[in-house]
Structure 1
Amino acid sequence: MASAHDRAVLQAIFNPTSPIGDVPGLNQEEELMDDDSAFDPELVKQVKDLELQGVSSAESGDLPAALQHFNQAISVLPQRASAYNNRAQTKRLLGDTKGAVEDLEHAISLSNGKGRSACQALVQRGLLLRLSGHDEEARLDFERAAALGSEFARQQAVILNPYAALCNRMLSEVISKLRNPEVSEMQ
């Protein structure tokens, strides 16, 4: 089985137009984690169990039950960001976009913009902002999430960056001309 580094090298070979520093997996850092050390370990375990129950309920389509589990998790540890992320997703699925954004902002604030919860909240808020036509704010959230390690956010930030899009188009044209000189001479 190929390692992450091997897959990244193959990606670079099969997608040579990707800048070397942007090859996914080549310089990946350790998986992002939240710092739960400030909380009572028993309460963290209880909250994680409630969140798992909430996720399970949401996956089975029982969104009201999921919301109830996330509300319980928040009531047990209101200073822990993860349950706010999960509740935001549930609220979004229930059509409460405003409530979802409020929860995401709370998660970002509680996490101090660091860790897995911050990264997920920034990506989710970026998506909601993008869907509502606030591309510049979405790009900023995606850039922050990308800095925390989200490859998806990095891709979204590039898509929303007009200068990057222009540069990518110009680079693609140059590479195409270099690969197929006879085609460019005919044009």
Structure 2
Amino acid sequence: MEKISKSDQNVLQLILNPSLPVNVEENVREDLDVQFDKEELSFVKKLETNGVKLAEEKKFIEAMKLFDEAIEKLPLRASGFNNRAQVKRLMGNIEGALEDLDTAIELSGERGKAGEFALVQRGMIRKLKGQKEDAFDDFKKAADLGNKFAKQEIVASNPYAALCNQMLSKVLSTIRNYTPKVVGLN
């Protein structure tokens, strides 16, 4: 049996799910960090990793200090702004989070992992604020970068896809629950 190429898989995906963007291979994502000094980058990544751990422990003030330091050290790196935005959002500072996300998206050029994650995060905030079209635009851009969550959000926001999925679920449920009746022989 012949293996299906990635290109053929993308075409098939486009035919079966026309509302979804074409998949982007994982290794195509750009690494925007190559522009930074390796030692500074390593130091900043450690700051951000520790900041994320602190945020997970709900130590937001301490996490914020580490993200501030990371941004001060490499102010042109999008990741620090994306991470700090997450903490600001968790602390209830939505406008501050949006400012950091806008900066992260601008610095990333809407590329790379930091750009992808910032677009998803901004899309979620916009969705919660009722800004459906702006949220959809952010999810679309993130989906084009290969983000699976963003792809799900696009499908979920499409009323025709939702209706189609609902009908398909009913059909599959009926098929799964079907038990043939045995007719007695006389």
The interval holding the TM-score normalised by the smaller chain is 0.7 to 0.9
Match of 1:168 in 2: 165
After superposing the two structures, state which structure 1 stretch, 55-64 or 70-79, moved more: 55-64
Match of 1:86 in 2: 83
Q: 1:49 to 1:180 in 2, by over 3 A?
A: closer
Verify the 8 A CA contact 1:126 1:139 in the aligned structure 2. yes
Of 97, 102, 115, the residue aligned with 1:105 is: 102
Verify the 8 A CA contact 1:88 1:100 in the aligned structure 2. yes
SS in 1 for 2:32: coil
Of 152, 156, 164, the residue aligned with 1:155 is: 152
Verify the 8 A CA contact 1:70 1:87 in the aligned structure 2. yes
Verify the 8 A CA contact 2:24 2:144 in the aligned structure 1. no
Verify the 8 A CA contact 1:140 1:157 in the aligned structure 2. no
What RMSD, in angstroms, separates the aligned Cα atoms of the two structures? 2.7
Deviation (angstroms), 1:175: 6.3
Verify the 8 A CA contact 2:88 2:97 in the aligned structure 1. yes
Unmatched segments (≥5 aa) in structure 2: 1-14, 179-186
Match of 1:69 in 2: 66
SS in 1 for 2:86: helix
Fraction of identical pairs, as percent: 50
Deviation digits for residues 109-134 of structure 1, max 9, x if unmatched?
10000010011001101111111111
TM-score by length of 2: 0.76
In structure 2, C-alpha distance between the alignment counterparts of 1:65 and 1:179, rounded to whole Å: 52
In structure 1, C-alpha distance between the alignment counterparts of 2:176 and 2:136, rounded to whole Å: 33
- The number of equivalent residue pairs is 161
In structure 2, C-alpha distance between the alignment counterparts of 1:60 and 1:172, rounded to whole Å: 39
Of 126, 131, 144, the residue aligned with 1:129 is: 126
Unmatched segments (≥5 aa) in structure 1: 1-18, 182-187
In structure 2, C-alpha distance between the alignment counterparts of 1:49 and 1:111, rounded to whole Å: 20
Match of 1:54 in 2: 51
Of 134, 137, 140, the residue aligned with 1:140 is: 137
In structure 1, C-alpha distance between the alignment counterparts of 2:137 and 2:158, rounded to whole Å: 10
Deviation (angstroms), 1:136: 1.6
